[in-house]
Amino acid sequence: MRLLLIHAKKFSYSVTEKAINNPEELDEKNRARDFENTLVVFTSVEKDDDENVVNRTAEEIFEVAKKIKPSSIVIYPYAHLSAELADPLTAQKILAQLYEKLSEKAEIQVYKAPFGWYKAFTIECYGHPLSELSKTIKKTKGGEIVRREIKKEFYIVTPDGEVFKPEEFDYSKYPDLKILVDKEVFGKVLEGGENIVNKYCRKFGFEWEPMSDHGHMRYGPHATTIMEALFQYSWQVARSLGIPVFKVIGTNMFDLSEKPVLEHALLFGDRLYELEVEGKKYVMRYAACHQQFAMLRDWIISYKNLPFGMFEVADSYRLEQRGELNLCFRLRKFYMPDLHILTRDLEQAIEASKTVQKKILEEVSKVGRRYVALYNVTRDFFEKYREVLIDFIKRDNYPALVAVIPSGIYYWILNVEYHIIDNLKRPREIATFQIDIGNGKRFNITYTDENGEKKHPVIIHTAILGGIERYIYMVLDTAAQMQLNGKTPYIPTWLSPIQVRIIPIKKEYLDYAKSIAEKLLAKGIRVDIDDREESLGKRIRDAGREWIPYIIVIGEREIKSNTINVRFRRTNDQKIMSVDELIKMIDKEIKDYPRISQTLPVMISQRPIPSYQA
């Protein structure tokens, strides 16, 4: 029997439709329920489970309940925890026995969700270390029950290779690590507050779409420029790794009757968008894995081709809890610049991962930030590849939190999460890379080795920049921290929707302003002209509110001297210079980044007022 025990602040479910031909009977009480402060026991009954397993399972549930003190216990049949399920009749019998055993001894109310039905559920989990526990309870030949707890062991590992228990480490020089450890290890509830990044997101046209599902954004013209710049830049970064990389475009829904799709979905968990079309169930992709692996299994690959990568900016879907949604960060629909690198074996994967890691650290430094890392590793990797793990942490040049899990549960053996600590002092995962030893076989991706034998590749998963929206969150959070430190907030010029604004003091100076705009546009610089009949002060203030990096004010002196008066947002300086000098300056600033055509008319008088600027 496999269990996933969750201490839920709130839990509710409702029956939707039959999952098997003869499901458990429904009544008004078990068709739908709501709970608070409950222990939810997601349960998969497996082959060979018997009364002894039921008794031991009840003991395990009582043990957990004793520690967390819930108001009730809910047995929730959940087939997704095991690939070795008992037949439906046996499963119903075992679940009924478990319910009876718990009801007999429990001092709190015990409930059981109906078996054999598809159900929609929502859950809000407490944050303490015992709030999520997985257990496997099996019967040996002699009838002895063997219990295996699937839980994490946490350590702090320094770049020098020292290993500490989290409670014994000195965090005085590493406050960011302390914040991450408090959340991940000790379940500390972090303080909230108003997140100024949400305001910045709306400033640039990132908004919730009220006519869609919760967690779906819309992107105004300013936001679209930023998104398109990052689409191109993420591809540019992928190509800079020094290996062949292939760019693809795929679909976003996959058939759950396909075994590898189902198995991968079960490993991912319950944050899945599922839909039914003509009697078949599909899952919306939550990254580019499905599509790229489905393509790669049809390719003819030689060992000589390895390593190589496949890349897509994938529209991705995750059914995040409604209360956890956050503009530009935790979304139900987002864009993931997903890169998968195929390698011959683990050794080649480790070497390629070092290149990926180097690029991840290089890119975050360009934003002016540093990451604090959480290394999720299997027990086998932690014991057999300890020096490799230390080498990765040495390259981070900062102590890391390491979570060790039992081997054989997930498809990866190493899963690195890179977090920033945002303006609210909360850890926010941005970039990641994983070493995957399972999906090559699961999706039957093969290459031919030098002996003519078919082998499955080891696959690296990575989002070097992180999700597109999460990278934007990091950029805007960096600006938020500037403001909190008394500095003028700004975003990098290559991402600014409008890089230069020209403000002619009088209408008669408009032609000169247009001539300057034409020169800038010819060089791939995004520029507009504020030709509105507003005061000079208001137009300068409006440019400031839009965070325009360079503001050019055109008056009689500039026309006579054939110069421009430029205000620099970043430094608040003002300088008289030639157009060519400004072009040279901006060229140097954005030379390593894509140049995206602008998404707005040049003349501001031609623009309606968008919702996010009203």
- Token pair recorded at residue 36: 């608070």
Per-residue pLDDT tens for 32-78?
999 999 999 999 999 888 888 998 899 989 988 988 889 999 999 98
Q: How confident is the model at residue 138 (pLDDT cuts 50, 70, 90)?
A: low
Contact (Cβ atoms closer than 8 angstroms) between residue 510 and residue 518:
no
Q: How confident is the model at residue 136 (pLDDT cuts 50, 70, 90)?
A: low
Instruction: Give the pLDDT confidence score for residue 268 in this predicted structure.
Output: 67
Q: Render the burial of 115-132: b for 16+ CB within 10 Å, e for the rest.
A: bbbebebebeebeeeebb
Q: Are residues 246 and 119 in the same domain?
A: no
Instruction: Give the pLDDT confidence score for residue 114 in this predicted structure.
Output: 95
Instruction: Give the pLDDT confidence score for residue 146 in this predicted structure.
Output: 42
Q: Are residues 448 and 509 in the same domain?
A: no
131: DSSP letter: S
Q: How confident is the model at residue 148 (pLDDT cuts 50, 70, 90)?
A: very low
Q: What angle do CA 202, 204, 209 make, to 5 degrees?
A: 50
- Residue 175 pLDDT greater than 90, yes or no: yes
Q: Give CA–CA dist 64/572, Å, rounded.
A: 59
**Bridge partners for 119 per DSSP:** 15
Look at strands 153-157 and 500-504 and give their pairing.
Answer: unpaired
Phi, psi of 87 (to 5 degrees): -65, 160
Residue range 569-586: mean pLDDT, rounded: 96
Domain range holding 563? 493-613
Q: How confident is the model at residue 145 (pLDDT cuts 50, 70, 90)?
A: very low
Q: Give CA–CA dist 514/504, Å, rounded.
A: 10
For residue 25, the tally of other CB atoms under 10 A from its CB is: 8
Residue range 194-211: mean pLDDT, rounded: 95
Q: Are residues 377 and 411 in the same domain?
A: yes
Q: How buried is 469 (Cβ within 10 angstroms: 0-12 exposed, 13-18 middle, 19+ buried)? A: buried
Domain with 305 in it: what CATH number?
3.30.930.10
Q: What is the rounded radius of gyration, in angstroms, for the C-alpha atoms of the chain?
A: 28
The domain boundary, picked from 117, 132, 149, lies at 149
In-domain check, residue 201: no
Q: How confident is the model at residue 570 (pLDDT cuts 50, 70, 90)?
A: very high
- Residue 147 pLDDT greater than 60, yes or no: no
Q: Name the strand (E) or helix (H) holding 431.
A: strand 427-436
Per-residue pLDDT tens for 522-566?
999 999 999 999 999 999 999 999 999 999 999 999 999 999 999
Instruction: Give the pLDDT confidence score for residue 493 in this predicted structure.
Output: 98
- Residue 284 pLDDT greater than 80, yes or no: yes
Q: Which of 113-127, 154-168, 328-342 has the lowest mean pLDDT?
A: 113-127
- Residue 309 pLDDT greater than 90, yes or no: yes
Residue range 295-305: mean pLDDT, rounded: 98
Q: Are residues 95 and 19 in the same domain?
A: yes
Q: Are residues 440 and 576 in the same domain?
A: no
Q: How confident is the model at residue 324 (pLDDT cuts 50, 70, 90)?
A: confident
Q: How confident is the model at residue 323 (pLDDT cuts 50, 70, 90)?
A: confident
- Residue 304 pLDDT greater than 50, yes or no: yes
Q: Which of 290-294, 344-348, 579-583 has the lowest mean pLDDT?
A: 290-294
Instruction: Give the pLDDT confidence score for residue 281 in this predicted structure.
Output: 85
In-domain check, residue 256: no
Residue range 198-208: mean pLDDT, rounded: 96
Look at strands 274-277 and 427-436 and give their pairing.
Answer: unpaired
- Token pair recorded at residue 374: 């959480």
In-domain check, residue 272: no
Q: Render the burial of 552-577: b for 16+ CB within 10 Å, e for the rest.
A: bbbeeebbeeebbbbbebbeeeeeee
In-domain check, residue 316: yes
Q: Residue 533's Cα: distance from chain center in Å?
A: 45
The domain tally of the chain equals 3
More confident: 1 or 548: 548
Residue range 210-239: mean pLDDT, rounded: 97
Instruction: Give the pLDDT confidence score for residue 365 in this predicted structure.
Output: 98
Residue range 340-357: mean pLDDT, rounded: 98
The chain-wide mean pLDDT, for the chain, equals 92
Per-residue pLDDT tens for 387-399?
999 999 999 999 9
Per-residue pLDDT tens for 246-277?
999 999 999 988 888 887 777 666 578 888 89
Q: Name the strand (E) or helix (H) holding 200.
A: helix 196-203
Q: Are residues 564 and 426 in the same domain?
A: no
Q: Are residues 385 and 238 in the same domain?
A: yes
Percent share of the chain, pLDDT over 70: 95
In-domain check, residue 552: yes
Q: Are residues 164 and 297 in the same domain?
A: yes
In-domain check, residue 280: no
602: DSSP letter: S
Residue range 594-601: mean pLDDT, rounded: 96
In-domain check, residue 582: yes
More confident: 381 or 4: 381
Bond into 159 cis (ω within 30): no
Q: Are residues 304 and 410 in the same domain?
A: yes
In-domain check, residue 215: no
Q: Are residues 8 and 130 in the same domain?
A: yes
Instruction: Give the pLDDT confidence score for residue 130 in this predicted structure.
Output: 53
Q: Are residues 168 and 296 in the same domain?
A: yes
Per-residue pLDDT tens for 417-447?
999 999 999 999 999 999 999 999 999 999 9
More confident: 244 or 131: 244
Q: Give CA–CA dist 317/334, Å, rounded.
A: 7
With tokens 């191109």, the residue in question is 232
Q: Please report, for residues 126, 232, 289, 600, the alpha-carbon distance to residue 604 in angstroms, rounded to integers and kept in the order given.
A: 50, 27, 43, 9
Domain with 576 in it: what CATH number?
3.40.50.800
- Residue 143 pLDDT greater than 50, yes or no: no
Q: Are residues 172 and 137 in the same domain?
A: no
How far is the first Cα of the chain from the last one, in angstroms, to the nearest whole number?
Answer: 57
- Residue 509 pLDDT greater than 90, yes or no: yes
Contact (Cβ atoms closer than 8 angstroms) between residue 408 and residue 83:
no
